[in-house]
Amino acid sequence: MSKAEEGGRIRWKPGNMLYPLPAVLVSCRDLAGNTNLITLAWAGTVCSDPPMVSVSIRPERHSFGMILETKEFVINLTTEEMAFATDYCGVVSGRNVDKWKATKLTPVPSAEVSAPAVKESPVNLECRVTEVKHLGTHDMFIARVVAVQVSDQYMDEKGKFHLDDARPIVYCHGNYFGLGDRLGGFGYSVRKK
């Protein structure tokens, strides 16, 4: 670490400090029918048309081989109510524990992929891997979203989905947080008053 000359900034070695990130549960299934859950914060949007996402996973993780084998997974958004289970699934290996039973999360069939979705999640993104990039400590699975399921409890009478009512969580520098207060909507800075 070295102190910069101006502005009181401290220089650190290069690293990943892009926070906050979504804390998601990724569910997967191998060809033998075994399933698992893994918590990831390294998940993101890649493209809107076609809808594409990415998840980055260390090769030594149990879910890594399952996803590599089937080329399918489900990204399940998490909520404040799911925070304990979300953390648990990130620190305990599915090689040793049935995370579904341990967390009391419910696997439900997906519409388009063999991996189950998490019933308690407000949004399930069903994904098919199109490319695997070997990057270093993690491999990035780039995938097309082939189906989306949302919980009807967050739909209003006009058919609008209210994800904020589910109280989603994010991961920030080793901690989980709720989203807090809404500050504005897309384009509010240029909207005429």
Q: Are 39 and 22 in contact (CB under 8 A)?
A: no
Q: What's the pLDDT at 193? A: 81
Q: What's the pLDDT at 119? A: 98
The set of long-range contacts for 93-102, using a CB threshold of 8 Å and a minimum separation of 24, is 93/61, 93/62, 94/36, 94/37, 94/38, 94/62, 94/63, 95/62, 99/36, 99/37, 100/35, 100/37
* Nearest Cα residue to 178 out of 169, 187, 188, 165: 169
Q: Where are the domains of the chain?
A: 17-178
Q: What's the pLDDT at 8? A: 87
| Maximum distance among all Cα pairs of the chain, rounded to whole angstroms | 59
Q: How many CA atoms lie within 13 A of 150 on its CB side?
A: 13
Q: What's the pLDDT at 28? A: 98
* Strands 2-3 vs 175-178: parallel, antiparallel or unpaired: unpaired
Residue ranges of the chain with per-residue pLDDT less than 50: 1
Q: Are 134 and 60 in contact (CB under 8 A)?
A: no
Tens digit of each residue's pLDDT (9 = 90 or more) over 97-117: 999 999 999 999 999 999 999
Q: What's the pLDDT at 6? A: 63
CATH code: domain 17-178 is: 2.30.110.10
